Structure 1
Amino acid sequence: MNRLKIASLALIAGASILSGGCSQDDLSTFAVKDSAVYFPSNNLSHSFIDTPEAEYADVEIKLNIIGPTADYDRPVAVEVNDETTTATAGQYTVLGGMVKAGATSGTVTVRVNNDKQALAQGDLALGLRLLGNDQFSTDIDPETKLPVTGGALVSFEAVLTWSNDIKMPEYMLQRNFLRYVSYTALWVDDDGNVYGEQNEAATRKRLSAKYSSYGLYSKNLAKILREVWPEVLNVFGYLGTDADILEKYPMINPGNVQDLYTKQLFHKLETYIYEYNQAHPDDILRHSDDAAVLNAAGNIVSVKSGGKTYELKLKENPPILVNPFSL
């Protein structure tokens, strides 16, 4: 399939989702052979922090498809990307990828080993690259970074990291839920470093406030969320909206002013941070060294301002602040 046709399918699929989904008539316009597959998020993580004695974990990496569903299971072709892989061959196994019959999404499953000696030295990473086969095309020019719904990008590459440390909650990147949770002002110095605070000499320049709207993440924030919030949150209904699911996992919708459950969650988080800081005025809660502004795909945001490009990985551990918009 040529790039133009795939691009057209992507745009139609995005418009259909935004308007409430594809109708059967829409789907019948395209043949199954016109389908493409991509990673909706290209930075993923797993932690053995809750299962330290496990020998391995099978991690399912989500895939989305462009085009119609099929009435049979469709395998997905994937290879290891050596350029973004730090793990050795004995530390992981790619178990394969599949889109089930009738499904509009699928998974690539990877088995990652709990190599305690290696993980004690730092995270391990496995880079993956989707390939075309007789079921799915990947014939979209990666240079175009064709946008689809929710601000995500069509991507054929992803990186899975695993560790024995805290990991980002899976719900955090759903429609960039992170932007509702934590934010910061952004300041830059003449060397291109980015901070969350002005310095005492007031020599740093303020970046536009719009760049802070993506959401600031760090492992320290994740540790707090583990203490304050449930481990699993049904953000924007990504886990499902059936009655039995909602009974167990109420839907989180920060855009709905009537959503009292969401407001209670954020109030609980704000109260935790406020009370801790009141009790420790000389050692308030701050982000860890990995603090960075992320987009919906989990990538660190880069912005241009004043003729310079800034990667929004922040220096000096800015304070943890709850986005007041969500309260």
Structure 2
Amino acid sequence: MMSLRTLSRTAPRAAARLSSAPAAVRSSMLTSSAARPATFQAATGLRSAALTRTSVSAFSSAAARRAPANEVDEELSAKLSSEIQFEKEIRENEPEATSVKDFLESGLFEIEDVPGREEVVLRRTYGNEKITVTFSVADLANYDPELYDEDAALGDEDVEGGSGRKAEETGAEDGEDLDGESGSVPCRLSIVVEKPGQGALSVEATAQDGGLVVDNLYYYKDAAHAHEATADAAHEAQREYPGPAFGSLDEDLQVLLDRYLEERGITQALAVFVPDYLDAKEQREYLGFLNNLKTFVDA
């Protein structure tokens, strides 16, 4: 589940600005101005503009003289230090999630997580197959609960049955867990299963609330199209017919494809691991961002 720390940073913030003059007063001012002769308005406008320029110039010069050098820099640096200390304390007091520890210790996948990058990649071999699973911390930063709940509601109306590992297996219903709390952040997975000279399967899935749902499954004769590592590969992939929507396949075929992926390590353990790992990575990346920002300000 998404931590309160993460929610507090990803929640949308809105600030409403109210005009200092009441509507009636503004209306009266406009009416009075419109009733004045054009010559008077023009003369008044010239004097007003001259006064405004003089006032702004005087204010800017006075403000520049009064403000001590680097005052804002020092305040910003102090605030960043406070935030860094706060994040470090949270990190020290939050033990590593059991799901993350157990998954990494299983050794089923090798993990590639470069500090400063959003994407995380898991790799493994299965017989002669190369399997990669890619997910991104951007899913936490861009998560909007209201938009997702609307999309989920539409999806429930359009789709019945379908892929096996869904909410009923986790006891979740209507975006809530067993305790009635909001569900975890949906994390998108890009899964590629490729065989030498045989192309690749590209699977789009979503991990949430301990369940894994296959959204789409495609086949590409050229494995490079499944990875879309370059602009040319992505362009060529768009020109191919990769197959129908996963939910439109025969239900028995969907179940067998689910089992096919499970045998390759795309399991419930992975579905639990990904959101927990991303939550911890988001904290590490945010702390790194704060440190980099403070170094820049202090330079």
- With the shorter chain as reference, the TM-score category is under 0.3
Query: When the two structures are superposed, what TM-score results if normalisation uses the length of structure 1?
Result: 0.24
More strand by share: 1
More helix by share: 2
